[in-house]
Amino acid sequence: MAQRFSHQRERIYQTVLERRDHPTAEMVYQQLKPEMPRLSLGTVYRNLQQMAREGRLAEVDGPVTRFDAVTRPHTHFQCRFCGALMDLEAMPYDEALDRAAAAQGYQVTGHSLVFTGACPRCAAQEHPA
């Protein structure tokens, strides 16, 4: 019943932790394949999902699911030009938001806040709104 140690799982976790770009299962797989040639994509999916269930990783949903090793509440920014998903500092209203939602009759356990727009790099190029 209890969980056992697994070399693969630890490397998968470290990969998500070290990368700051909230990788997808495929991205993790591609990165690890060279050093673990027998690794299978199914294993990556299974472990990411398992760690997400346990709260060791956070899932960020979208057309393709991304994973985040930062589980404390924070905010994301998605660039609609390059597609990158990056972290933002916590919003000043974080707790106030949960309270406001709770006031509408819901039991709130958390929230997800994602901003959309142009990241500094893409904005610097030619991207007229």
Partner DNA sequence: TTAGGTGCAAACAATTTGCCGTGTT
Partner DNA sequence: AACACGGCAAATTGTTTGCACCTAA
35 to 54: interface string for DNA, x by CB under 7 A: -x-xxxxxx-xxx-xx----
Q: Please give the biggest Cα pair distance in the chain.
A: 56
What residues contact residue 124 under an 8 Å CB cut-off, 6+ apart? none
Amino acid at 23: P
The entry of a copy of itself, DNA, none that residue 120 binds, CB within 5 to 8 Å by partner kind: a copy of itself
Check residue 11 and give left, alpha or beta (phi > 0: left; psi -120 to 50: alpha).
alpha
Residue listed under structure tokens 């933002």: 88
Out of 4, 92, 105, 107, which residue is the one contacting DNA (CB under 7 A)? 4
Return the number of the residue (10 or 81) whose C-beta is nearest a copy of itself. 81
d(CA 102, CA 27): 37
List residues near a copy of itself by CB under 8 A. 61-63, 65, 75, 77, 80, 88-89, 91-93, 96-98, 100-101, 104-120, 123, 129
List residues near DNA by CB under 7 A. 1-9, 24-26, 36, 38-43, 45-47, 49-50, 63-65
